[in-house]
Structure 1
Amino acid sequence: EKRDHIRMKLDTPIQVKLDTGNYIEGTCLDLSVNGMQVELDRAINAGECIEACIRSEMGIVPDLVSKATVVRTTQIESGRYLHGVQIQSMQ
């Protein structure tokens, strides 16, 4: 990879909050310092701001919550959508 930071491969549930206040459940496929790739049932437009939450299953560490911007959306064969997301801040 020609990236500044390593991507961790994941396959974990993620909850995405839209600007409208609506939530979408999906899967976080990978995560890096600057961004993540998220698979969802519906498309989110590039440029849209979201809040993404990966829940801590064990409760030992806090949930990972980030403010982020969608930079690209691609429909895949299954009819679902892959979203490239740039992390703006972590809470």
Structure 2
Amino acid sequence: MNALIPIAGLWKWIIGRPCAGTAVSVIRLEKRGLEHRSLRLGGKLQCVKGTLWITVAGEGRDVILQEGAIYATDRSIRVLIEALEDSVVGLRPD
């Protein structure tokens, strides 16, 4: 089961950016759980717990994020997030 919980100011990577209007979410994914999301310019995705497989639409490579790793984008993208084990994702789509 996936859970989406809006929060603000959870990770250090938020510091340095204004939080007004910035939606920060935590997504809990069970092993093999999937989540589709859009990220805009400056959007960040953090593997808070577990291991994630990130597929970016239109790119020929995938990214594996281990606990603590961050994926940041320099353009608007659509991602598919798959949990390789029970995981927690931090998401700031900007």
TM normalised by structure 2 equals: 0.28
TM normalised by structure 1 equals: 0.29
Asked which structure has the greater RCO (Cα within 8 Å, sep 6+), the reply is 2
Greater per-residue strand proportion: 1
